[in-house]
Amino acid sequence: DSGVTQTPKHLITATGQRVTLRCSPRSGDLSVYWYQQSLDQGLQFLIQYYNGEERAKGNILERFSAQQFPDLHSELNLSSLELGDSALYFCASSVGYSVSQGVYNEQFFGPGTRLTVL
């Protein structure tokens, strides 16, 4: 158990809908990262928040957005869902915000949310 929690574990929805995935980081971690894992794209970094502010953006679609709240939990919002959005969405957390901080940037992964869009 990494200490990172994600809810829900599974989510099944229809095209065009909007869903919210939730992540609670490990106690003491200030950074939250979101990743998408699909069979054709592999593990793709989406976005990072540090202490409530966006720090880095990866391959995140405009239909997707995220935020980190004062209690440091984060939510990933996916809207106008398409079949191709079906994937495993992982959240990770770390103490620091930059690889240059070394050990403080070690990322711990949550169990993921499996999203199925029908």
Partner 1 sequence: AQSVSQHNHHVILSEAASLELGCNYSYGGTVNLFWYVQYPGQHLQLLLKYFSGDPLVKGIKGFEAEFIKSKFSFNLRKPSVQWSDTAEYFCAGGADYKLSFGAGTTVTVRA
Angle, CA 42 vertex, CA 49 and CA 77 arms, to 5°? 40
DSSP per-residue letters across 34-56: EEEEETTTEEEEEEEEETTEEEE
109 binds partner 1 (CB under 8 A): yes
Contact 44, 88 (CB under 8 A): no
Q: Which is nearer to partner 1, 28 or 102 (CB)?
A: 102
Closest approach, Cβ 17 to partner 1, in A, equals 25
Strands 53-57 and 42-50 turn out to be antiparallel
Q: Which is nearer to partner 1, 45 or 65 (CB)?
A: 45
Strand partners, 43: 37
Q: Which is nearer to partner 1, 37 or 79 (CB)?
A: 37
38 binds partner 1 (CB under 8 A): no
Binding mask 59-88 for partner 1 (x = CB under 8 A): ------------------------------
Contact 88, 8 (CB under 8 A): no
2 binds partner 1 (CB under 8 A): yes
Task: Copy the structure tokens of residue 5.
Answer: 């929690």
33 binds partner 1 (CB under 8 A): yes
- Give the interface with partner 1 as residue ranges (CB under 8 A): 2, 33, 35, 42-45, 48, 55-56, 58, 90, 92, 97-100, 102-103, 105-112
